Amino acid sequence: MLKRIVRMEFDQEKVNDFLTLFAEVRDKIAAHQGCSHVELCKDVKLDNVYFTFSIWDCEEDLENYRRSELFEKTWARTKVLFSARPQAFSLLEGNS
């Protein structure tokens, strides 16, 4: 099992655009082969910082998603909203 966290910092005036986009694609991402969980979290202190947290069966499933048309279209619409470079982390459980 692979856990993926992506930290995204948005231009303040574009946060609602991102939230609308995420609402449109969340279920589509969750339905992608190998994805068992997708959620959006907001930073406690920074109103323009959000994190996606997803769980994938394996790294190959995540990479297949990242090569998909859904990801390409979603990423193209998302990256123009950033105020800073996103950070992504792929994690395995500590005993894996």
CB 55 within 8 A of CB 6: no
Q: Which domain holds residue 19?
A: 2-91
Which CATH number covers residue 37?
A: 3.30.70.100
Using DSSP bridges, classify how beta strands 35-42 and 2-9 pair: parallel, antiparallel or unpaired.
unpaired
Q: Which of the residues in the chain have pLDDT under 50? A: none
pLDDT tens-digit series, residues 68-85: 999 999 999 999 999 999
Tell me, yes or no, whether 68 lies in a domain.
yes
DSSP secondary structure letter of residue 12 = G
The total number of structural domains that make up the chain: 1
Tell me, yes or no, whether 96 lies in a domain.
no
CB 55 within 8 A of CB 34: no
Q: Read off the pTM.
A: 0.93
pLDDT at 61: 97
